[in-house]
């Protein structure tokens, strides 16, 4: 009975994540302070030996966003970071105010942004797989009940794009990975 209940919760979660990815879910944007949201999205790390450290600017600007969707985005990326370090380690999460201009060569309008970075010192992602990591159902973990569905990063990408933001990744096998999320500041 326990296994059946766990499977039903996992199926429900998968369907919800698929709906957010496929249809976009209902986005309810409001001006939010993202400082606490970042910490809250990083607290619940099931079956993880990893710990989070935070480097968040005191004067971090607010963003106009759907707090539930941004929570899910950050949470998905933090879970991936923890899973990249099965023996434990530190996930470093930083957030800062930045100004984006044409020289930055990002697919963003010029202006003020909040940049959130999530860094692990895990196994890294092989360079040949980096172009695929935001693709739906792509996973390097295997499709078992404990690892993943390949929708976490695809969902994160979709949410950030719907918010007019940008998400990027840098990784080196054996060194670690860092995801950068850019959201328009208000």
Domain of residue 77, residue span: 2-184
Q: How many domains does the structure of the chain reveal?
A: 1
pTM of the full structure: 0.82
Q: Of 49 and 148, which is predicted with more confidence?
A: 49
Closest CA to 57 of 35, 90, 33, 75: 35
Q: What pLDDT score does 145 carry?
A: 43
Closest CA to 181 of 161, 101, 171, 136: 161
In this predicted structure, the answer to whether residue 132 has a pLDDT above a threshold of 60 is yes
First vs last C-alpha separation in the chain: 49
In this predicted structure, the answer to whether residue 164 has a pLDDT above a threshold of 90 is yes
In this predicted structure, the answer to whether residue 40 has a pLDDT above a threshold of 70 is yes
CATH number at residue 103: 3.30.565.10
């Amino acid at each position: 009975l326990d296994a059946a209940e766990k499977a039903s919760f996992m199926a429900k979660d998968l369907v919800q994540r698929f709906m957010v990815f496929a249809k976009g879910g209902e986005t309810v944007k409001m001006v939010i302070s993202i400082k606490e949201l970042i910490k809250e999205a990083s607290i619940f790390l099931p079956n993880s030996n990893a710990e989070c450290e935070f480097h968040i600017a005191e004067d971090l600007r607010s963003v106009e966003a759907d707090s539930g969707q941004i929570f899910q985005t950050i949470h998905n990326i933090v879970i991936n970071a923890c899973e990249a370090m099965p023996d434990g380690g530190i996930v470093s999460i930083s957030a800062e105010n930045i100004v984006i201009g044409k020289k930055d060569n990002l697919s963003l309008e010029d202006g003020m942004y909040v940049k959130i970075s999530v860094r692990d010192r895990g196994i890294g992602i092989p360079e040949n797989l980096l172009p695929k990591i935001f693709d739906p159902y792509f996973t390097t973990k295997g499709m078992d009940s404990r690892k993943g569905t390949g929708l976490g990063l695809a969902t994160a990408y979709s949410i950030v794009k719907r918010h007019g933001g940008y998400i990027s990744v840098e990784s080196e096998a054996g060194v670690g990975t860092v995801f950068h999320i850019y959201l328009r500041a208000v």
